Amino acid sequence: MNITVAENYSQMSKKAAEVVEQVILDNSSAVLGLATGTTPIGLYKELISDFKRGKISFKNVKAVNLDEYIGLPKTHVQSYAFFMKSVFFDHIDIDPSNTSIPDGMAENLDAECARYTRLLKGMKRDMQLLGLGSNGHIGFNEPGTPFDSTTYVVNLTSATISDNSRLFGSIEEVPKKAITMGISEIMSAGKILMLASGRNKADAVYSMINGRISEECPASVLQRHPDVTVILGRDAASLL
């Protein structure tokens, strides 16, 4: 693992943008696995600003997202489809038909998982961006998820529901289920870029980097990936 501790959130986001932009400079038709959450917002802002300055183009880039809540329409402000459009895709030159996200409103969720698994098999991701749950989750792969999992419907843990409730009106409004890319699919990306900031991530960061590789900390599986870049804020790195 290549680990960098940034001075602050802004520097973490700038360093992360450099990594993503290098992937696109190496391959203008790169396939990027993308993530939602509060952590990557600064990265997306950097990429938008570099796009506007003409430094980078997403014209031929494909994007495939990690996860989506079940039961939130794409128009719901907390759906990950809405997040990706409003925070990133609407501000760059990516072709909307080159973006994919699991459909959390699908009538047949098993069929939707199978569709996403097929999609991922047919698309070699150059890079997968990840955030980190305070319980060590990646995507929505909660502690205990088998490392050989492919896209599936997950029952969110009470820790995740509570963490994410800050973005909803009340804890009752947080969906209890999601569709997530599985751990084996995350691991099949050519490169992993993991970002974490905030003191509440420090325990999970420690377990991810220094802990035993165990399904109890899903992010610990990244120790087995040959090309992982971890960029941390100071608080998140405080236990290392």
Tokens (6 digits) for 71: 């039961």
The alpha carbon of residue 193 and the mean position of all alpha carbons in its chain are separated, in whole angstroms, by 9
Q: In the bound complex, what is the minimum distance in angstroms from residue 178's beta carbon to ligand GLP?
A: 7
Rounded to the nearest whole angstrom, what is the least distance from the CB of residue 67 to ligand GLP in the complex? 5
Whether 67 is a known active-site residue: answer yes
- Residue closer to ligand GLP by CB (options 6, 28) is 6
137 is catalytic: yes
Nearer to ligand GLP, 57 or 103 (CB): 103
For ligand GLP, give the closer residue by CB, 132 or 202.
132
- Distance separating alpha carbons of residues 207 and 187, to the nearest angstrom: 18
| Neighbour tally for 96: CB within 10 Å | 9
Any catalytic annotation for residue 142?
Answer: yes
Binding stretches for ligand GLP (CB under 6 A): 35-39, 66-67, 131-133, 139-140, 160, 164
Among 68, 196, 56, CA closest to 129? 196
Of 46, 50, 67, 126, which is the active-site residue? 67
Structure tokens at 236: 């998140």
Pick the catalytic residue from 68, 126, 142, 163: 142
> From the CB of 166, what's the least distance to ligand GLP, in Å?
9
Q: Cβ of residue 203: shortest distance to ligand GLP, in angstroms?
A: 13
Compare residues 29 and 99 and give the one whose CB is closer to ligand GLP.
Answer: 99
The one catalytic residue in 137, 163, 164, 185 is 137
Active site residues per annotation: 67, 135, 137, 142
